[in-house]
Amino acid sequence: MSDSEVLPVTSVLPPPIEMAGPRRILSGMQPTSDSLHLGNYIGAARQWVELQQNFEALFFVADLHALTVNPDPALLRERTRRTAAQYLAAGIDPSKSILFVQSQVPQHAELGWLLQCQTGFGEASRMTQFKDKSARLAAGEAAGGGPTVGLFAYPMLMAADILLYDSAYVPVGEDQRQHLELTRDIAERLNARFGAGTAVVPKPYIQKETAKIQDLQNPAAKMSKSSSGGRGVVWLLEPPKAAIKAIKAAVTDADPDYRVFYDPETKPGISNLLSIFSAVTGLPIADIAAEYDGRGYGYLKVDLAQAVSSFLIPFQERANMYLSDPVQLDAILADGAARAAAIAEPVLERIYDRFGLLRPNYGRLNVPAPGLATLDGGAGIVG
């Protein structure tokens, strides 16, 4: 889960996994911006809305992952609500799926530690996203002044997010496949060390036919807040006028004949605009290309800008409805956290038992065990 990292859906499913829920799937995004962007919606949230129709689906706001860049606490809290509201505005239905905030289900952090203890330093060091983000953070992007141990352990917490729910499938983009492969390796290791059935080995669920949405100023890079200084990004909660300006300023391709056709290799700028146009209108890319072929790219940009604006206005109305009533929004998230914990707790207990950890016989309640006292009136850990 990236800065608003997500975690796109093949038409042929892998065979079902015996232990998991019938077709359980999980995904999430980090609340690292005031708004998700159009790439997050097209590449992830829009797909989630379809997935919740056919899967036992869990979608979460990955606020624990966001801590790796030392966010301002008040800002993190606000962005967490804003991210959840945008999930709902995109069409996530709490009656069809489970929507929750990661930190409100403490089993995520608990399992994260267990998995850190089962992951080799070398394999964790090979994670390319850690290397990339460390370089950016070392250059001064983080308030803390550089990469943290939490950033290094990020993939193990991501593995915990997945394994905690016996997830059969995880919708991932190509940039997240390495983290999913690590999760699969960890799950297989747990089953080898502690017995079959300790963990479900999840499978990737990748929608290859859904094009990536690229940066409007740099079509070679995916749309994100860090590319082109944010100038090539369409934010879902920004004023539609700003989105219109960004689209009209989008990079196209040098072609004196103004040909319009979909080919990301030879016409990356035009292909990106066609993908966005199709996503927000539902029109086939071939039909859009035929409509604007040879007419001049300005016509395509003007009509695309209007189409995006027409998409953003009702989206923002739905998001603002939830943001204007934080009590209702928090209640939705609390209900989701309770439902998620009801799935997570038995899984964590199973793994605790397999690890040989002594469990209290009074249950996992927020009360002290009768007669339990610390030695010498204090607490400590002796290595």
Active site residues: 133, 222, 225
Reading the block at residue 112, the tokens are 């994260």
Q: Are 9 and 42 in contact (CB under 8 A)?
A: no
